[in-house]
Amino acid sequence: MIALLRGEVAVRRADHVVVLCANVGYRLAVSGETLRHVPAVGEEVTLHSHLIVRDDALALYGFHSEQERDLFLMLLSVQAVGPKVALAVLSAGSPRELIGALAAGDSARFQAVPGIGKRTAERIIVELREKVGVQEDAGGRTPIVARRGEPAHPRALAREGLLELGYGPEEADELLCGAEGDSAEDLLGQALRLARAGS
């Protein structure tokens, strides 16, 4: 599996880039969101990647962040969502914005993506809301992204949730120091209450 590529941008197009690594050019299909972070031709880039093997082709997909790749893989698990549609969804906003749309049950956000109708949009929300671990707390819905296939410690999940909400790493660690609980939801809820109490 090709999980990450670092090299020189050789080609930069609206739907793909070619990254030159050790004199080999890798073509990666990318979302509009990832393309915003890809520098000009000739500069160095690092992209997380996912390889899809088919009978007639090897298709490589590139992502600016691990979180975007996780969302791509989750989208592929939804019936009627293939790689092309998944990239179109990812082009509709940052991972944080898309998680927020899932949390809010914003079906219209997903219906605005070419190739997605009302039924598919609702299916995406129902299936992925559970996978990203959207939970309720006193302040409303809080998205927590659980990495696909990786068992995560509750404190690590809570920390990731705080980072997603815009807290810095040191601030997140400090808030979690004073939080107690057995689940990520409990820890995150307490950390957010501590943050509100201190503001």
Q: Which of 81, 98, 130 is the last residue of a domain?
A: 130
Q: Do residues 52 and 102 share a domain? A: no
Q: Do residues 73 and 59 share a domain? A: no
At 49 the pLDDT is 95
Q: Do residues 8 and 34 share a domain? A: yes
Q: Do residues 81 and 123 share a domain? A: yes
Q: Which domain holds residue 150?
A: 137-198
Count: domains in the chain: 3
| Cβ count near 102 (within 10 Å) | 25
Q: What is the CATH number of the domain that holds 90?
A: 1.10.150.20
Q: What is the pLDDT of residues 61-101, one digit of tens each?
A: 999 998 899 999 999 999 889 999 999 999 999 888 898 88
Q: Do residues 93 and 39 share a domain? A: no
Strands 24-30 and 58-63: parallel
Q: Which of 63, 83, 113 is the last residue of a domain?
A: 63
Alpha helix locations (H) across the chain?
32-35, 66-76, 83-90, 95-104, 107-111, 118-131, 154-164, 169-177, 184-198
Cα–Cα dist 133/51, whole Å: 25
Q: What is the pLDDT of residues 118-128, one digit of tens each?
A: 999 999 998 88
Q: What is the CATH number of the domain that holds 50?
A: 2.40.50.140
pTM greater than 0.85 (yes/no): no
Among 14-23, 82-91, 143-152, the minimum mean pLDDT is found in 143-152
Q: What is the pLDDT of residues 128-139, one digit of tens each?
A: 876 775 444 444
Do the beta carbons of residue 54 and residue 65 sit within 8 Å?
Answer: no
